[in-house]
Structure 1
Amino acid sequence: MTASAAFDEVDDAKARRNAVFLSMSQALYGIVVTTQITLGGLAGAMLAPPGGERLATLPISLMMLANALTVIPMAMLMRRYGRRAGFLVGAFSAVIFAVVAADAIARGSFWQFTFAALLLGVYQATAGYYRFAAADTASAAFKPKAIAWVMGGGAIAALLGPEMVKVTKDLFLPVQFMGAYVALAGVSLLSIAVVALVNIPPLPAAVRAKSGRPILEIMSQRSFIVPAVCAMISYGLMNLVMTATPLAMVACGLSVNDAAFVVQWHAFAMFATSFVTGHIIARFGAPRVIAAGLLLLAACGVVVLSGLELEHFWVGLFLLGLGWNFGFIGATTLLTECYRPEERAKTQAANDFLVFGTVTLASFLSGNLFFASGWETIAVVLFPFVAVALAALGWYVLTGARRPA
């Protein structure tokens, strides 16, 4: 039996154990990122130099940029040393991020706070592989469920993250928001302990020695292009709207606690559905689930354009979270059909580089669009991109695509 064939043997018992630990890791990661999404733009606006309000979302944008730039090196590191090594690097980066960010707020330093966000991007890059790691030893039947279990861990973050923001943001008054970042240091230390329990064997040396097909050949397949485009658009649009939401709500006279409430329900919609998304994909197929997600993103735009009351933000962001869940998890599942075991690392890295490069751009444009053109413009942008993703998905369904031999 070849090393590649041996690696293809599945162990659903191990996959289930890893999925539990990875789900816990996803929850802790989600608490950190939810806090940054809720407070990062507000803290950026508070710390920004005079006249620099358009820089408010720069810390979030640079977090996404660091994510995009780090996904490929982290994939190579995990290919050589295993998933756990990469996950530990990310968790340690999160601890440093939280400490540096808290100190930046205490000093009133916008640029130090922005630098800290780069470290969080490293954590985000490694955490992005939790979903792929859950599928490494899973059977074809359990794979979508394993991915969904991991993403479901974010439901815990959705409940705890915003509540932690409310409780900790004023602990060090008159230095607003510092307490939340001190609390994140503790959350990140706990993450180190949890990811250390993940047990996924690295690729055998014989498999690592194989390079597989050239990456451009893999990326030229319909089975890569379509899930990548759908993931890019689903995640990019979600981030575009989500990043601007706290700024828009405060500008409309709503409170930071109102913004935390909306982000809480948005994050809950993003992740709680994951406990059933795998079953839905197994029953109806990934393309149909992705299409449903894209239509929910468009529905978010309709709701957001209908008013500026708390309920409009709440319902709109809830639909945005559901749309992201179906679109992104469906696209992740579809992507796993386009590569061989020895091509896993580079294909996943290429996909996440494209996805988080798009998210970086969306995050940067979010603050600029909001301050230049208003909240309604951000909602309108949803519709043409949803149409592009639906067209790509239709191309995939009509032409068909096969898993590589």
Structure 2
Amino acid sequence: MSGIIIVGGGQAAVATAAKLRALHDRRPITIIGQEAVLPYQRPPLSKGYLLGKFPFDELLLRPPHWYADQGIEVLTSSRVTALDRTRQAVDLSSGESRLYDALILATGATPRRWPAALGGELDGVYTVRSKANVDSFASELVQGRRLLVVGGGYIGLEVAAVAASQGLSVTLVEADNRILNRVASASTADFIRRLHEAHGADIRESVGVESFVGKAGRVVHAKLTDGSVLDIDFAIVGIGVTPNVQLALDAELDVGNGIIVDGCGRTKDPNIFAVGDCAAFPYRGETIRLECVQNAIEQAEVVAQNILGGTLVYDPIPWFWSDQYDAKLQIAGLTRGYTDTVVRHEDGSRQFSVWYFAEERFLAVDAINDTRAFVSGRKLLDRGLSLPKKVVGDLSTDLVSYVRTAIGR
């Protein structure tokens, strides 16, 4: 018997299944995940879960009984080995074959590993993506140990913050000329850098790792590109992810920086969709991928409606967040193409926001410990509205009141 098959066991997979059931689609739904556990939230892995603030059960996206109640089958520790578009079937690692009416690829992404020839396979060199990843190095977080974090993106910075707060000696290296160079302004990066340095982390920019050096199979040193050598106890590599596209590629679907879909989330095969981190979709004149919870949920819900005959076009206003020490960074919008920024920050205040503009058009906001700025910016973006730079730069302006007036509420 055929039904709906979802390949991947993350946020996008569960969101698609939940929306289909909410829309009263009663066909069999099967979620196929490679991990040995039920689908769970990934963002807390590098924050609260790593700190031991809550047990894994609290990360589960849905309790176990929910799947049974909804008639949704979840295959854990299972992998799709082949996709046959002609038969509309997938072959599983168990040897079983399943037919589908509609197939959703929610295959996610894989963290880039350090090259094996440069020490990437030594014990003590880790990546961060899954529960298994985090569990593998959680016991290394012991006060006084020496950690090297490779990569100054959000994942690397979050792990560095957790480790420094636990009393480890933390060095973070970023090969680019500054941390967060792809995703945030120099002003935001400066604030985050100072935050880490205030907690004792050593942030080194324009410095990369040449190689890891081991002893008896375990990493003990890191040779850096500036010629220095660091003695380390372990390393965490956070140098980005690669979308999982091989299944789509083997099935001769269109693939670029992700599985190519149209605005409705459909691949070139009308019965196959892609959602979440693996999906590359059209967005205002370009093709992009978004790696965030909001995208996984909202894109999945659009796709679920289109599976049932809808023609909805996915046009998100992205938002993200990052927790580091006692600071919360919230981001609304995309900074692509910005030409100018305006900073709002009173001396001595822990609230800090950076507003991005393309000429006079408002694009995005980074808000640190400033939920009012984040919410105000997001409301403007949701309604396609802008605001003058001089208003943002005037600290006497109550932005919440200004935005309420601007949107007529």
- TM-score range for the pair, normalised by the shorter chain length: under 0.3
Bigger Rg, which one: 2
Higher normalized contact order (CA 8 Å, seq sep 6+, divided by chain length): 1
TM-score (norm 1): 0.27
User: Higher helix fraction: Structure 1 or Structure 2?
Assistant: 1
TM-score, normalising length from structure 2?
0.27
